[in-house]
Amino acid sequence: MILKTMKIFVTGATGFIGSHLVEKLIKAGHQVTAYVRKTSSLEYLPKEIETAYGDITDYPSLKKSVNGFDAVYHNAALVADWAKKEDFYRINVEGTKNVLMALKENNIKKLIFTSTSGVLGEEDCKTPKNEDSPYKPKTDYFLSNIVESDLNHYRISKMLAEKEAIEFCRKNEISLTVIRPVWVYGEREFGSGPFHFCQAVLDGIPFVPVGKTNRFHVVYVEDLVRAMVLVLGKSLPGINIFLIGNEKNPLAQEYLGMFCRYLNVNMPAMLPKIFFKPIGFTLELCYKLFNVRKSPLLTRSRADMFYCNNIYDVSKAKRELEFVASTPLEQGVKNTVDWWMKNAKILLKR
């Protein structure tokens, strides 16, 4: 239970997770300020939201804006499997260092940091990983020794940011809660798997890179942000880390098949992973050689992710936060597809 109204500062507030988090915080009665770039769209933020303009890579602006708050949610990050290597580290690592220094200079003692389960690795794993599992952000994709996967750069940069936050907050006696979501889906998602998959299916792709026996751990965005808000009502001194996801995880083909069903299209044929590896590598190599900024339809990470047994142990959040993801998978998928339809984000072929 949240005991009092707090003044909350949120970075990354216009993003997929951040915009849902802001709504949930406001509904809980908190006074929220969204830290946004001048180029960012405020389309998904509540009209009553207070805003501060700036960028986490601009320390003077950040330090000035974050003054006078009870807690900070740090969500801002470059989340992608296709971007420049230096941008991942500049935004995710250096930007996080700026947030940490701004907290210290403004004597703010509570930070909730959005990380990712990917810092533990997303390679095939038969047993669930928990919060104490070792860091393993790098996956050995096909020919990674020739061209590194950008998804590896993302996960490594998030690991470095998380480690920086833990060390800094421990040293400066700042209460830190690290949230490691599994794969998040829901309304306003345009880049974490389902959206790209559905676009490809609607475009008539005949084959998809999906395994038949592997499980894929997911969480609906509304459940995730509910867990994040719960942190404010708990007395969590020191460093705390939570994996957040559904208690049960579906087969990858079951999960993606639900999207096909609500899109009223057939699930394309599923081929072995070996078929897609060279295609993903060739596309990545060509796009990099010609400096194409738009991501390829298929990358090695996209060709690999839905074949992995991607599972995590989320029992700690249940014990210590009293959190259980409550949205049935079918309902979450239906909500997502309905939102895409209403907002014309996908050209539906019915």
Whether the pLDDT of residue 98 is over 90: the answer is: yes
d(CA 276, CA 48): 47
Distance in angstroms (rounded) separating the CA atoms of residues 20 and 234: 20
Q: Quick one: angle between helices 221-230 and 16-27, nearest 10?
A: 50
* Residue 2 resides in a domain: no
pLDDT in tens, 228-272: 999 998 989 999 999 999 999 999 999 999 999 999 999 999 999
- Picking from 26, 83, 85, 18, the residue whose alpha carbon sits closest to that of residue 56 is 18
Residues making up the chain, counted from first to last: 350
User: Could you tell me if residue 192 is inside a domain?
Assistant: yes
The structure tokens listed for 4 are 């009092």
Give the range of the structural domain holding residue 185, as residue numbers without chain letter. 7-342
Residue 350: inside a domain, yes or no? no
Phi-psi region of 143 (alpha: psi -120 to 50; beta: other; left: phi over 0): left
**Dihedral of the CA atoms 263, 265, 271, 275 (nearest 10)?**
-70
Which CATH number belongs to the domain containing residue 304 in this structure? 3.40.50.720
Q: Which residue has the tokens 């200079």?
A: 105
Residue 267 within any structural domain of the chain: yes
The predicted model scores a pTM of 0.95
| Residues 54 and 14: beta-carbon distance below 8 Å | no
User: By the 8 A CB rule, do 138 and 73 touch?
Assistant: no
In a domain, 167, yes or no: yes
pLDDT given at position 2:
43
Question: With bands split at pLDDT 50, 70 and 90, how would you rate the model's confidence at 347?
Answer: low
Tokens of 128: 């669930």
Percent of the chain with pLDDT over 90: 84
* 1 in a structural domain: no
Task: State the pLDDT at residue 162.
Answer: 98
Number of domains in the chain: 1
Query: Over the chain, what is the mean pLDDT?
Result: 93
Quote the CA–CA distance of 73 and 12 in Å, as a whole number: 9
| Residue 328 domain flag | yes
346: number of Cβ within 10 Å: 17
Please report whether residue 281 resides in a domain.
yes
The pLDDT of residue 283 is 95
Contact by Cβ (8 Å): 178, 164: no
Mean pLDDT of 204-229: 96
